[in-house]
Structures are given as C-alpha cells and as structure tokens.
C-alpha cells in the first residue's frame, strides 16, 4: 500500500484520471500583504480511508487548507485554440472545500490548496511550512511529509487601483437558499458573499435598483430583486431609497468602493425596459418590462423623475463619484440605432455621470455614443489607437481563442496572465458577467445545482458562469477564483514597481527576454515564466525600497 505526495504550484490542475506530471514546487517569495498559494498533491491506492493533515509553521495562524474537489462539466466550450489542457466532458478540479471528514480517492491523484495570507506588518524572513499527510486504514497507517519555504520580502503590496466587477446576482442567492428576497436571511447571506467578493479584489458591485435585465429570455423574467420601492399616482412617481441605503452601507462595510447601477434598458440593444415593479392604487404591478418600448413616453417620464432623485440620494450618501451607470449590455452593430435612441433619452439626465457598457464595436465610441466603452479582450487592440482615458476590458464565453480566460479547460497560467496584460494595456477596470450566475441560460431554470451543472445548462463553457459555489452557510471559493486573485496581485506588484522606477523601466523589465512585446494574444504560455517574472519583480521592488 502506498501514499505519495508532491508539492506543486497553484497554477497546476490535478485531474483524477491521469498521472501527475507537474513539476515540484517547494519554494517561493511574496510581498507583505499578499496572498500566496500552492498545492499539496497526493495519491494512495488504499480504499476510501480517512485523511488528516498536520501543519507546522510560524505562519500557521495565517494559513488555510482546503481540498480541491471535482465538479462535472458536460459542455466545455468550442472553437478553442491548442492552449488547453483537455476539451472532453468530464470531471474538473475547481471547488475548494473544507477538509473536515477528508478521505482519499482510491488510485487517484488529488490535491490540497494551501493559502497563506501574509499580514502587511509581518516580519520579513524565510519561513518553513511543514505539512504532514496521514492516511489511516484498518491495516495500515501511512504518512508523508513535505516542506515549503516561503520568503516574505519587506515591501508591502499596495492597495488595488483597478476597478473590478464580477456581476453579483442577488436573485441567485435567495433562490438558491430558498429564502425570501430582502428577508433578514437574505441580507445575512448577501453580507457573506459581498465580503468574500471584496476579499478577492472585487471592489465594485452590481446594484439591483430593479431586477437587472441580464441573461433573460425575451418575454421571460428573472425573480424580482428590486431595491427601490416605487409608487405612482397619476403621472407622478415617488421613490423610497431605504433598502438601497442599507445595501450601500452593507457594501461599504464589507470593503466595496464602487457601485454600478442596474442597466437602464434591456440587454443586446436597448430595445425594451427592464422589469420594474411599481405600486399603483395600492397594488404592486410590473409597470415596465418587455412589453414596454425603451423609447416610450411613459418610460421617459419615469426616468425624468427617477434619475434626478437617485442622483440626489447618491450624493447625500457621499458615493456619487464612485457610481457608474449602464445603458445596455453587449449591443452589436445592428443595435446601434436603438442604443443611440436610448442614450438620447438619458443623455441630459446623466451628463455628469460615468456610463460604461460592455461592447466591442468601435463605432459606438467613434460616433460619440459612449465615453467609457468596455471591449472584450479579443477586441481591445481595435480600441487602443483611440487612446481612451481609463480604458476597461472584459472577457466572457466568446473569448476562447488566443486571449486569456478562466475556462475549466484552460491552464491556470492562461487565467493568471491577465494581470500582467492588464498592466501592459494600462487597464483601469475589468468586468465579468458571472460572480454567481447559478441559473441556466436566459435564466430559464432557476433551481440549478451549481455543483452538478457548471455550464449553465450546456450553454457556456465550464468555468464561465460563476466564481463561487453555494455552500451551506455561504460562499465556497474556487481554484479559478484564487488564481484570478493572483493575477490581480501581479498587477498591484507591477504598479508598485512603476511607482519606484517608472512605467517604461517596468515594461522593459517585464518584457526582457521575450521574442515579441506582450499583447492580448502574444504572451508566454508557461506557468514557469509567471513565477520567474514575479520572483524577479519582487526582488526589483525590494531593491528599489
């Protein structure tokens, strides 16, 4: 009977149906205030036995150990390039589960995720992290020990400057947990998920003034999740911002800094209105929705009253300058006229506001329809010549060839490289649509189990719809979520070096030895390059102190 262990990096994915070929990874360095992760892979031919892990380190109080578990994926995606690990449906490593009642999987390689959250005031030094894995069967007791050396350097990782949103779906939370919308149970869960998001570098939150008109089939609807209480008498509206005020306080207390208001018009072209519930004659009714044209006189009247009142409220909350507005998500060139019509409705009302939208056709910017476009990373180079101030980018299910993304089938290095590339492009903000989209496509099945359905009902490549899983009492992190946070830390470290030696010198350090300059499609594919780059970057920073 055997028990094998191996230290491997955070950028490896351990599959249960193949031999582990990952390189040994037993040393690393990090800045103070940084989160550093690695894995302990293990294999045993014993039959379903208890596993325990013992930890010895001066850093023990700052170390979390979780088990990398597997989830099924029926639809992995399509039209990928060759920078993939595999493309077949199957089991993929992703959720990071508590190690209570941990048991081995017979004749399978699995791994434990070791996360070290280094305090910003910790003493710089080299620290040993000793791990002992014990497996106990009726006949045998096995143990294997491994040691990781983590060098903590003196510089402190600075605060994140990037504005970062992963769309937060408040309706998915109350439906998944079977609680009422805006009940105290819902608010408690929201607090846990929002804090988790903030801890992972998400500092902007999608705010459901009304049910966001996203991923909804035409004439279909998502569960109502509306922060505003709205009443109507004749042609006049009144607005109660009490719940919105509670939402803002909850977010600020959790560490959220920016707020993006729910889209003012429907997705993919701004042709209709979002679902908005209004109390009229003592009864709540769906006053606006798919049945209402975006350019209708009634909706114009509504916005003419709402937006000035909303802006006054946001100013009173002292967050107006941290708020962003959306018109419509992902309009294409065939929708440009309807998008223009929608923009014209609110142009005067939001002239002093920041409007951002995910769209990848430069015509929208060139024709003056939007000042802050968010192109997908595979279209970003088309926008670069415009020298747009505070350029954002995003990726989603369509960014499958050459560019970075977070799909299950991609190597983790292809997830993490995004931080380096955001530095190269001087990106001010990053958006993704799926923090916790736990419905099927178009929100048709709202009772989906995210541990069993990871592709939104065979619609989106596995890994795209959500970063967190619904645990019994709150969020369960994922491997891709932690790797994405490593990318954000790379960006912060690069900006720290820039503050010391300048942007040009930082770029020269970053691209030294590369055959071609970094672009969204041309970048080193290996995890080794990323680790060597970070190690070199960290020492450059330390020397510049």
84 in the same domain as 220: no
Segment 266-285 mean pLDDT:
96
Q: Which DSSP helix (H) or strand (E) runs through 152? A: strand 141-156
Rounded Cα distance between 289 and 275, Å, is: 4
Percent of residues, the chain, with pLDDT higher than 90: 97
The answer on 124 and 220 residing in a single domain is no
In a domain? residue 323: yes
DSSP sequence for 371-404: SEEE-BTTTHHHHGGG--TT-EEE--TT--SSS-
| Model confidence, pTM | 0.97
Same domain? For 136 and 238 the reply is no
User: Are 177 and 139 found together in one domain?
Assistant: no
Query: Is the same domain home to 256 and 140?
Result: no
Q: What is the pLDDT of residue 139?
A: 80
481 in a structural domain: no
Tell me, what CATH number does 66's domain have?
Answer: 2.60.40.10
Domain limit, last residue, from 105, 135, 155:
155
Same domain, 138 and 233: no
Please determine, for residue 137, whether its predicted confidence score (pLDDT) is greater than 90. no
Q: Are 110 and 104 in contact (CB under 8 A)?
A: yes
Are 36 and 118 contacting, i.e. CB atoms less than 8 angstroms apart? yes
pLDDT of residue 1 exceeding 90: no
Residue 497 in 3-state DSSP?
Answer: helix
Question: Domain check: are 142 and 214 in the same one?
Answer: no
Whether residues 215 and 89 fall in one domain: no
Alpha-carbon gap, residue 447 to 177, rounded angstroms: 10
Query: Residue 340 has which token pair?
Result: 């223009």
Is 62 among the domain residues? yes
pLDDT at 545 over 80: no
User: Is pLDDT above 80 for 515?
Assistant: yes
Cβ contact 395:358 at 8 Å: no
Q: Is residue 54 part of a domain?
A: yes
Q: Could you tell me the residue range of the domain that residue 242 belongs to?
A: 163-374
What's the structural domain count of the chain? 2
Is the model's pLDDT at 147 over the cut of 90? Answer: yes
Quickly tell me which residue has 């967050």 as its tokens.
319
pLDDT at 502 over 90: yes
Pair 130, 196 in one domain: no
Helices (H), 502-526: 503-511
289: confidence class by pLDDT, cuts 50, 70, 90 = very high
In a domain, 510, yes or no: no
β-strand 258-261 against 276-280: which pairing, if any? Answer: unpaired
**Tens digit of each residue's pLDDT (9 = 90 or more) over 206-224:** 999 999 999 999 999 999 9
CA distance linking residue 354 with residue 320, whole number of Å? 10
Do 203 and 311 lie in a common domain?
A: yes
Residue 17 counted as domain residue: yes
How many secondary structure helices (H) and strands (E) does the chain include?
11, 23
Q: Report the distance separating Cα 283 and Cα 227, nearest Å.
A: 17
Strand partners, 142: 135
- Are 467 and 182 spatial neighbours (Cβ–Cβ below 8 Å)? no
Strands, sheet with 110-117, edge to edge from the N-terminal-most edge strand:
3-9, 35-44, 110-117, 63-73, 90-97
- Whether 123 and 202 map to the same domain: the answer is no
Mean of all residue pLDDT scores within the chain: 97
**Cα 221 from Cα 289, distance rounded (Å):** 9
**Residue range 283-290: mean pLDDT, rounded:** 98
User: Is residue 437 in some structural domain?
Assistant: no
d(CA 468, CA 208): 19
Tens digit of each residue's pLDDT (9 = 90 or more) over 102-112 = 999 999 999 99
Mean pLDDT, rounded, for 506-518: 97
Q: CA distances (Å), 428 to each of 252, 348, 357, 388, 424, in order?
A: 21, 26, 14, 11, 11
Of 124, 155, 186, the residue that ends a domain is 155
In a domain, 472, yes or no: no
CA dist 270 and 378 (Å) reads 23
The model's confidence at residue 265, banded by pLDDT at 50, 70 and 90, is very high
User: Hey, CA dihedral for 531, 536, 540, 545, is it positive or negative?
Assistant: positive
Provide mean pLDDT across the span 11-28: 97
What is the per-residue pLDDT across 392-451, written as a single tens digit (0 to 9) for each?
Answer: 999 999 999 999 999 999 999 999 999 999 999 999 999 999 999 999 999 999 999 999
- SS3 at position 29: strand
Contact yes or no for 26/7 (Cβ under 8 A)? yes
Is the pLDDT score of 140 beyond 90? no
pLDDT for 436-460, tens place per residue? 999 999 999 999 999 999 999 999 9
Q: Reduce the DSSP state of residue 401 to 3 states and report it.
A: coil
Hey, what are 493's tokens?
């470290």
What pLDDT shows up at residue 48? 87
Q: Are residues 181 and 134 in the same domain?
A: no
Work out the burial of residue 398: count CB atoms within 10 Å of its CB; fewer than 13 is exposed, 13-18 middle, 19 or more buried: middle
Look up residue 172 and give its two tokens: 């998915």
Total Cβ atoms within 10 A of residue 109 = 22
Phi-psi region of 375 (alpha: psi -120 to 50; beta: other; left: phi over 0): beta
CB neighbourhood size of 290 (10 A): 19
Domain-ending residue, one of 320, 350, 374? 374
* CB neighbour list of residue 149: distance below 8 Å, 6 or more residues apart: 26, 27, 28, 126, 127, 128, 129
């Amino acid at each position: 009977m055997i028990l094998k262990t191996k230290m491997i990096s955070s950028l490896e994915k351990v599959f249960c149906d193949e031999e582990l070929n990952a390189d040994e990874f037993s040393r690393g360095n990090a800045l103070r205030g940084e989160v550093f992760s690695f894995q302990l892979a293990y294999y045993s031919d014993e039959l379903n036995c208890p596993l325990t892990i013992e930890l010895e380190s001066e850093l023990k109080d700052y170390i979390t150990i979780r088990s990398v578990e597997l989830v099924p994926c029926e639809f992995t995606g399509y039209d990928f390039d060759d920078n993939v690990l595999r493309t077949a449906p199957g089991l993929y490593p992703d959720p990071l589960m508590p190690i209570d009642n941990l048991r081995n999987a017979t004749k399978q390689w699995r791994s434990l995720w070791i996360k070290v959250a280094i305090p910003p005031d910790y003493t710089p030094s080299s620290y040993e992290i000793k791990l002992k894995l014990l497996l106990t069967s009726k006949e045998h007791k096995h143990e294997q020990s491994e040691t990781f050396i983590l060098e903590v350097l003196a510089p402190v990782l600075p605060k994140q400057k990037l504005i970062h949103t992963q769309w937060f779906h408040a309706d998915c939370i109350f439906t998944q947990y079977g609680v009422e919308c805006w009940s105290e149970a819902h608010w408690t869960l929201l607090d846990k998920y929002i804090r988790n998001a903030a801890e992972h570098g998400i500092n902007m939150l999608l705010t459901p003034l009304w049910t966001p008109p996203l991923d909804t089939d035409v004439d279909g609807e998502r569960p109502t999740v509306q922060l505003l209480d709205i009443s109507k008498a004749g042609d006049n509206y009144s607005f109660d911002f009490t719940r919105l005020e509670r939402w803002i306080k909850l977010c600020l207390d959790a560490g959220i800094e920016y707020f993006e208001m729910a889209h003012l018009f429907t997705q993919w072209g701004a042709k209709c209105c979002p679902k908005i519930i209004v109390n009229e004659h003592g009864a709540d009714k769906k006053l606006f929705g798919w049945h209402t044209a975006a350019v209708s006189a009634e909706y114009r009247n509504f916005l003419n009253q709402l937006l000035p009142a909303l802006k006054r409220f946001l100013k009173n909350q002292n967050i107006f300058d941290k708020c962003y507005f959306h018109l419509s998500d992902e309009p294409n060139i065939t929708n440009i006229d309807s998008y223009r019509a929608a923009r014209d409705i609110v142009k005067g009302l939001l002239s002093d506001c920041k409007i951002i939208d995910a769209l990848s056709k430069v015509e929208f910017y060139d024709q003056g329809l939007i000042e802050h476009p968010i192109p997908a990373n595979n279209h970003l180079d088309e926008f670069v010549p415009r020298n747009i101030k505070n350029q954002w980018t995003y990726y989603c299910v369509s960014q499958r060839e050459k560019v970075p993304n977070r799909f299950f089938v991609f190597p983790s290095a292809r997830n993490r490289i995004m931080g380096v590339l955001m530095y190269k492009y001087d990106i001010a903000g990053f958006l993704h649509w799926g923090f916790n989209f736990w419905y099927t496509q178009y929100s048709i099945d709202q009772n989906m189990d995210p541990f069993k359905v990871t592709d939104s009902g065979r619609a989106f490549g596995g890994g795209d719809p959500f970063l967190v899983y619904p645990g019994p009492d709150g969020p369960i992190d994922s491997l891709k979520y932690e790797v994405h946070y490593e990318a954000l830390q790379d960006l912060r470290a690069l900006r720290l070096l820039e503050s010391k030696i300048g942007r040009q010198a930082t770029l020269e350090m970053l691209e030294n030895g590369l055959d071609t300059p970094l672009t969204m499609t041309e970048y080193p594919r290996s995890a080794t390059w990323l680790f060597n780059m970070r190690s070199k970057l960290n020492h450059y920073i330390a020397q510049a102190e």
